[in-house]
Structure 1
Amino acid sequence: MTLTLLSQRAPLSAASSAIPLADSALRLSLHPVPNRRAMVDGAWWPYSRNAAAELPGLIAAVDRLLDRVTLRVSVHGDTWQSLPRRIPARGRQIRISWSRHTDPRVITLRFATGEPVILLIIPSGAAAGAAEATLKLTAQDTAGLMPDDILTLANLPSQPAARPTRRAAIAGSSAN
């Protein structure tokens, strides 16, 4: 397998919360050979934090590139907006599981066969240069590097901005 880097080279607009167009380039890198010593198998740079809009394209691309069938996707619940329980993909429903106990910087795709694929999530609002550096870095051997290490090497913040919870939104509105 060869290096896979699918990425848009042009800088994005400042509206990082915009829902991607159907023909938007998928910004994904996968290491050519899965390495169980590495914490991540690649990286993904979504256009927004809208899981319902972003996940179908990711699932389709990973299925095609790895010639596998994704059955389940696991994410951190506070990292995403519009987080459905299931996503339609090529005639089937992919189960989306989430927890607040998983690493908010990664997404895990599980298949019918083989090891899961763990992707580092590059924040959607990241600067193009730093995001491109992260995509390239994760396509190389990252054994021994934690997600924080990879993000630091690419000059990106190591902690994602958490989605405001309903309780925080209510508390903020009652303080005014």
Structure 2
Amino acid sequence: MTLAPPPRLSSSSAARLRLVAQPAQGHMPRRIDGAWWPRSPDLTSELPWLLAGLPQSWGQVSSVLVDGAVWSPFPARQLVADQVVRLSRTHTQQRTPSTVCLLAPGRGRWDLLVVPPTATEAEAMRLMDSVDTVVKDGVGLGTAVR
């Protein structure tokens, strides 16, 4: 198990995570809940930043499922902010956008589009903006409905 100290959030870290508003009741659930632009392909160093930036209403994320092709090797569990988070990888088709799936017991599931760490700021902002547009248009990018 890897230990990770809690990160200090800054305004620049907030720009690397964009969440979209929940749909109104009666609407079909969306498939993408936001976008995340990690700084590197090292999940163990990036995950504390992601989890620290999530709303408290999402609860404690206990499991994270990521696209195996995007991330460098990582352990099966990581201690983040005094909680154990299970880490799993999946392998998707190359043409499918990379996502990260966050699971919180009793709270739900959230799927975020992962912007490649190598993206320029302009590319990243365009992709992050497109998530909000895609959700407003009712088209999902993810592979599973929560």
Q: Given the two structures, how large is their TM-score scaled by the length of structure 1?
A: 0.62
Q: Which protein is richer in strand relative to its size?
A: 2
Within a 5 Å distance, the mapping from 1:114-125 to structure 2 comes to 114-125=107-118
- The percent identity for this pair of structures is 25
Is there any run of 5+ residues in structure 1 with no aligned partner, and where? 1-20, 148-176
Q: Counterpart of 2:20?
A: 31
Structure 1 segments (4+ residues) deviating >6 Å: none
Q: Does 1:135 align with 2:124?
A: no
Q: Counterpart of 2:73?
A: 82
Equivalent pairs counted in the alignment come to 126
- Give the structure, 1 or 2, with the largest relative contact order (CA under 8 Å, sep 6 or more): 2
What do residues 59-115 of structure 1 show as CA deviations (whole Å, max 9, x unaligned)?
A: 2222x4534110100012222013221121221110001122586600000001233
| 8 Å Cα contact 2:78-2:87 kept in structure 1 | yes
Q: Counterpart of 1:158?
A: none
Is there any run of 5+ residues in structure 2 with no aligned partner, and where? 1-6
CA RMSD of aligned residues (A): 2.5
Q: Please identify the structure whose Cα radius of gyration is greater.
A: 1
Determine the C-alpha separation between the residues in 2 that align with 1:37 and 1:88. 31
Determine the C-alpha separation between the residues in 1 that align with 2:77 and 2:28. 28
